[in-house]
């Protein structure tokens, strides 16, 4: 898929850099700064891509099926903001992916969460543009199981038919968002808005995690990174005080 294209990854990083520089100049003239605290909460849906190349190489060498490194996911978040500054958090879970061959079935699932700090480059009555940086962590859980139907005695003779291992990493999230908002009530002092937005970004790992089976670390494990580009649609609600003409 296009997520794996190195040119595409460089384009994402370049667009983020150029937009942050250019939009700041634009935002100095067009930003409508509100000096009171405001808040937003939202749900997010989208796709992410990770680097499972080394893991898949080891799996195939040992006779297991490859796992997909493209995931659909869902999550939610909330932010408060004052003037141009944004602070908050978000979390995401990946829909499980499965692969199998004639002997084994492998399933992968995971998720991550971040504490975010952002800045409005442009904030008008209906449109907000903002970059954010987030610090957090995430993990992947890999389950390997035999497809055969063993008897009770088979399990006693060979209890290690199913294995579940996991890895945790510290992550850094760079994102760029654009939100469109409309008022849904008519109060003078306080108003609520519905929000539809789009966010793109790139996740980097700060520290490579270790593969674990329960409380035991696994030596000689392949490197894996839950890093890469993503794109998400967000839908939510927010509050503004005092209410501007929207």
Confidence of residue 241 (pLDDT cuts 50, 70, 90): low
pLDDT digits (tens, 9 = 90+) for 38-93: 888 999 999 988 888 888 899 888 888 999 888 999 999 999 988 889 999 999 99
Q: In b/e form, how buried is each residue of 201-228, taking b as 16+ CB within 10 angstroms?
A: bbbebeeebebbeeeeeeeebeebbbbb
Q: What percent of the chain has pLDDT over 90?
A: 36
Closest CA to 112 of 136, 88, 143: 136
* Lowest mean pLDDT segment, chosen from 161-165, 185-189, 238-242: 185-189
Are 52 and 224 contacting, i.e. CB atoms less than 8 angstroms apart?
Answer: yes
Higher-confidence residue of 116 and 56: namely 116
Asked if pLDDT for residue 133 goes beyond 90, the answer is yes
Asked if pLDDT for residue 211 goes beyond 70, the answer is yes
- Residue ranges of the alpha helices (H) in 32-99? 53-61
Contacts of 167 (CB under 8 A, 6+ apart): 139, 140, 209, 210, 211, 212, 221, 224
- Calculate mean pLDDT across residues 187-211: 84
Q: Is 217 left (phi over 0), alpha (psi -120 to 50) or beta?
A: beta
- Residue ranges of the alpha helices (H) in 148-240? 152-157
Higher-confidence residue of 139 and 83: namely 139
Domains of the chain are 2-240 (2.40.160.20)
Confidence of residue 114 (pLDDT cuts 50, 70, 90): very high
pLDDT digits (tens, 9 = 90+) for 1-46: 444 455 445 555 555 554 445 444 444 433 344 566 788 899 999 9
Q: What percent of the chain has pLDDT over 70?
A: 78
pLDDT of amino acid 69: 85
Asked if pLDDT for residue 99 goes beyond 80, the answer is yes
Helix or strand (DSSP H, E) at 171: strand 162-183
């Amino acid at each position: 898929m296009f997520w794996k294209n190195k040119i595409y990854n460089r384009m994402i990083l370049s667009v983020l850099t150029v937009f942050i520089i250019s939009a700041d100049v634009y935002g100095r003239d067009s930003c409508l700064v509100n000096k009171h605290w405001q808040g937003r909460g939202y749900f997010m849906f989208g796709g992410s891509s990770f680097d499972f190349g080394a893991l898949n190489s080891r799996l195939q060498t040992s006779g297991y099926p490859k796992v997909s490194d493209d995931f659909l996911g869902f999550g939610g978040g909330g932010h408060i903001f004052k003037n141009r500054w944004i602070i908050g958090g978000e979390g995401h879970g990946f829909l499980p992916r499965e692969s199998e061959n004639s002997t084994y079935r492998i399933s992968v699932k995971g998720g991550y969460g971040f504490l975010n700090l952002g800045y409005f480059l442009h904030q008008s009555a209906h449109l907000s543009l903002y970059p954010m940086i987030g610090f957090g962590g995430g993990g992947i859980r890999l389950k390997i199981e035999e497809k055969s139907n063993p008897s009770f005695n088979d399990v006693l003779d060979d209890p290690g038919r199913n294995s579940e291992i996991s890895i945790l990493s510290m992550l850094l999230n760079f994102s760029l968002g654009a939100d469109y908002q409309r008022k849904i009530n008519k109060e003078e002092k306080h108003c609520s808005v519905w929000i539809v937005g789009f966010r793109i970004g790139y996740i980097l790992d700060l520290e490579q995690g270790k593969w674990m089976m329960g409380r035991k670390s696994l030596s000689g494990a392949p490197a894996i990174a839950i890093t890469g580009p993503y794109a998400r649609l967000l839908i939510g609600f927010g509050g503004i005080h005092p209410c501007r003409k929207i």
